[in-house]
A and B are shown apart, each in its own frame.
Chain A
Amino acid sequence: KAGVTQTPRYLIKTRGQQVTLSCSPISGHRSVSWYQQTPGQGLQFLFEYFSETQRNKGNFPGRFSGRQFSNSRSEMNVSTLELGDSALYLCASSFDSGSGYEQYFGPGTRLTVT
């Protein structure tokens, strides 16, 4: 099975712009989660989508939004970019193995805001 793919891998934007990141989960996985990772904060949960519905949401401002399509692919959008949004954005797809959710991460999108 192909792993989780994320595009683009690297992105440079300027303050005030918006950005859309894409994630394709492992085939058959219906849950997709997004995380922001910065050196000082570690992994911070953004939101989770399951069957096109947002199931969980982290503590991020409304500038961060997402959606999931019928084929489970997901996009994340950040509007009005700020310097502090520079981070590695990770997508993870999950399935319930019966003993908990097995989560697989993509390689991430490195966003730099200048």
Chain B
Amino acid sequence: KNQVEQSPQSLIILEGKNCTLQCNYTVSPFSNLRWYKQDTGRGPVSLTIMTFSENTKSNGRYTATLDADTKQSSLHITASQLSDSASYICVVSLQTGANNLFFGTGTRLTVIP
């Protein structure tokens, strides 16, 4: 069964600290993996997208890693800011011609001063 699981479900960190969010998937055949940031009440915004051959991709203070062998990905946030408070969603795409995506339920990150 194709599934995407994220951990932790929620996380509270102090401003300026680093954190790492996890995503495990069983989606196969795998095409790509995306991390999205979703502010409350708004649509998700893409942070990174990685294909099978990519191990790491950065977008400013956000760094995503992918281990396609163990089917795990992580999103590392460096020097967190209050504006990082949001839900982070991991999305895995199937290798098909259609737009076939599997969503994790997200990690709710709260950054406190």
Contacts and interface: CB of A to CB of B under 8 A. Distances in A.
Interface of A: 4, 31, 33, 41-45, 48, 50, 55-56, 88, 90, 92, 94, 99-108, 110
Interface in B76-113: 89, 91, 93, 98-101, 103-106
Given A33-B99, A48-B98, A107-B43, 17 more contacts: A4-B43, A42-B89, A42-B103, A43-B103, A45-B103, A50-B99, A88-B41, A90-B43, A100-B32, A102-B49, A103-B34, A103-B46, A103-B91, A103-B101, A104-B46, A105-B44, A106-B43
B46 to A, nearest CB: 7
A31 B99 contact: yes
Given A88-B41, A108-B42, A108-B43, A42 B98 contact: no
Contacts of B43: 4, 90, 92, 105-108
B14 interface: no
Contacts of B45: 105
Contacts of B89: 42-43
Contact of B101 (A45, A88, A104, A106): A45
Interface residues of B, number: 23
Which of A43, A100, A103 has the most chain B CB atoms inside 10 A of its CB? A100
A26 B101 CA distance: 19
Query: Interface SS of chain B: helix, strand, loop or mixed?
Result: strand
19 contacts: A4-B43, A31-B99, A33-B99, A42-B89, A42-B103, A42-B106, A43-B44, A43-B103, A48-B98, A48-B99, A99-B51, A101-B93, A102-B46, A103-B46, A103-B99, A103-B101, A107-B42, A107-B43, A108-B43
B63 interface: no
B63 to A, nearest CB: 19
